[in-house]
Structure 1
């Protein structure tokens, strides 16, 4: 049998085992190489065994997670494929049955704008409708459509003629300001001009 010099083994052996070898060294007794190798294997298993077990456990968990992710991806792909098939089937069936949008909607106008354009096209005085609610606009559109169905003719009317001068619409005795409504300052200014 070979006798192992522990001090020499400590110096020449791997650094990671140096402290373990130093603890194993016994002054009173010389160990054989086989005994020393057994001790080193036992120490390596004690140090690295739990680490290897943890690594193996992590690898197993990681593999399970990868399998679940792959399974979920396959399910998701199938669901998306089915949804796309359903959507395309609805589009094919629904494309002929879709009602045509009005030209105003195609231009991107809102329902309020559609009402506004309808009233304008019917010859309405749009200053009258400025600031009115959408419900009021809709009510007037309904009225105009009813008149159209009763008469059976076009809803377009001729616009009222526009006066060429502002003062032509007002009498000399009229005290109202065409821009502000009734105003005393307007009336006073008019009296000052006459004097």
Structure 2
């Protein structure tokens, strides 16, 4: 069995166990301590797949490193932890934008992204009144997240390779995951939110990582 396959299987196992911890937390009101290890471990295992054949570029390393930092910050409660996670993922998305636009420009963004932009505008028009003093950090994050999706769409429109398709799907899943997180954070928790956030997030970064294999 190849190293890449082993890492993928380990990431899936770690992710499923972390999600199981969150299901237990929802049902019993107590999160197993193993979650504190499993959540960052899953992201580390996904990132490790990038190094199997050859080291990735510094921007991609930075994107995954700041995503990991965001993962760790968001394991804890409180506004300071949330802002630390928001800031880490903000930087991660800026790095992803630079990675996606290597060989493409935002001017190549396809027409259908207007639908996504309309969704983003509508979503934030609904969300921002609920964010209180976090309004401006949340809005800034929404802008860069939208830019990340547009950059991946422009890359696929320009290059149209299997790799850019994986990145585009990953970017859209990232936006979906963050939308679910934002609803839970500012509109109140609801059953199934955290498992949905984690599963879509790890699938998102897994697809982005896969787009750079080989």
TM-score, normalised via structure 2 length = 0.18
TM-score, normalised via structure 1 length = 0.19
Per residue, is there more helix in 1 or in 2?
2
Pick the structure with greater CA Rg.
Answer: 1
Per residue, is there more strand in 1 or in 2?
1
Structure with bigger RCO (C-alpha 8 Å, 6+ apart): 2
